[in-house]
Structure 1
Amino acid sequence: MSWKTAYRSFYYQGAPEPDDLELRPAETALLCIDVQNYGMKLHEDPTERARWAPFHERMRGTLIPNLQALQASFRAAGIDVIHARIACLLPDGRDRSLSQKMPGWNNLLMPLDTEESLIIPELAPQPGEIVVTKTTDSALTGTNLRLVLSNMGIRNVVVTGVYTDQCVSSTVRSLADESFRVVLVEDCCAAGTDALHRNELEILNMIYCHVVSSAELRAMLGLD
């Protein structure tokens, strides 16, 4: 099954196949969202560690190697690689959006200079690459990224990272609302569970973005 027929939601069952995507390299950028140390930390509680084991398996076995390879291909082709990360500007996190202050798992307090707020070494920015810091789920809403992309002449944003159903989804929707053409790379993203990941892809596909595999994206861009 190709990207043209995969990940169809209820609303798009039986809809015509989309046209081929035209992604001019000069108008395209790769956006890597929130692949930070905090997400790779294993739980001390054995029950929680077991519950999160599928996520960590996907990160190590799928997302990280695929995104590493995609970053390398984009850099070799001279296509911009951009990074976004969650980090608060004040030590007490008062500058965070409400969604990041709510009690529970999403209550992330990560000042700029903490180890857990850093992008993981395997996917770290190279010198000269843009890194935006956000205190919101969306990498567009909480930063100057929209202006930066527009100034650079970027029209196509290739989105990757974590979590598919949270910060990735919020960013995809924000980009679409600003009329960027969005491509979401399914094997360079992850959610807490594979079911959450797949469900969100179906929700986003064909209205907010086009969901493709990294292999399909390489073919579209003529990448090695």
Structure 2
Amino acid sequence: MDDFSINPASTALVLIDLQNGNMARELAPYSSQQVLGSCVSLAQEMRGRGGMVVFVRVLLNELQMPPSDAPLHAPGAPPPPPDASQFAPEAGVEATDVVIVKRQWGAFHATELDQLLRRRGIQTIVLGGIVTNIGVESTARAAHDLGYSLVFVEDAMSGITAEAHDFACKNTFRIMGKVRSTAHVIDALQAGTGDA
């Protein structure tokens, strides 16, 4: 891990679903506020180094929800309030950031994300957000299929359960890319001389 560095010029920070509806969720092992704080720190560092920052949000009232054994939203439950799909104000989305709107778990399907990344010459995606084992993992799987290098910021994401988060970070994500802490990623950005 000591030789880990990130070249901001070819890297995008992609932050998943830091929106009001998710900020109200009970998460583990990190609270939504802890995740948000880590994501804001990463975004500030990335912007300061000239890197690309992407905020993704899902339109909860248009989210695809085919039948399942354990639906995220109980059948017949009232629809989410209109502001549930808006970014949390504390996320600090800036005018220079890219905003992607989606209608499914992952950020690539039926969006312009891949095209925007390729136009910028992005080779590496640093991922964080809510929820680890849903939106983050779905985005990561598509990114892996598309050939991007991946860095998962373990403490800048959280799961519906700690067990689900830990399984993804200790097993799935380590096969697909590199799992690091917020502090480690910020150090790598500051080193900025190599590729992730």
Q: Deviations over 1:113-149 (max 9, x none)?
A: x211001111131013111111111101231111110
Q: Which amino acid aligns with 1:73?
A: E
Q: Which amino acid aligns with 2:31?
A: R
SS state of the match for residue 205, structure 1? helix
Query: Does 2:17 correspond to 1:34?
Result: yes
Query: Does 2:43 correspond to 1:71?
Result: yes
Partner residue in 1 for 2:102: 134
Partner residue in 2 for 1:159: 127
Query: Does 2:99 correspond to 1:116?
Result: no
User: Contact conserved, 2:54 with 2:99, CA < 8 A, in 1?
Assistant: yes
- Of the two, which has the highest radius of gyration? 1
Task: Report the TM-score when normalising by structure 1.
Answer: 0.74
Q: Deviations over 1:3-45 (max 9, x none)?
A: x5xxxxxxxxxxxxxx944522110111010111011236xxx
Partner residue in 1 for 2:138: 170
Partner residue in 2 for 1:11: none
Q: Deviations over 1:124-176 (max 9, x none)?
A: 31013111111111101231111110111000110000110111001111101
The alpha-carbon deviation at position 102 of structure 1 amounts to 3.5
SS state of the match for residue 151, structure 2? strand
Give the number of aligned pairs. Answer: 186
Task: Report the TM-score when normalising by structure 2.
Answer: 0.84
- Which of 58, 61, 67 is matched with 2:31 structurally? 58
- Give runs of aligned pairs for residues 77-92 of structure 1, distance below 5 A: 77-87=49-59
CA distance in 1, matches of 2:167, 2:12: 25
The alpha-carbon deviation at position 207 of structure 1 amounts to 2.0
Q: What are the ranges of 5 or more consecutive residues in structure 1 without an aligned counterpart?
A: 5-18, 43-51
Percent identity at matched positions?
A: 26
Q: What are the ranges of 5 or more consecutive residues in structure 2 without an aligned counterpart?
A: 192-196
CA distance in 2, matches of 1:69, 1:170: 23
Q: Deviations over 1:163-212 (max 9, x none)?
A: 10111001111101100001010010011122211111123233212110
- Give runs of aligned pairs for residues 139-218 of structure 1, distance below 5 A: 139-218=107-186
Considering Cα pairs closer than 8 Å and 6+ residues apart, tell me whether 1 or 2 has the greater RCO: 2
- Which of 5, 20, 24 is matched with 2:7 structurally? 24
CA distance in 2, matches of 1:202, 1:102: 29
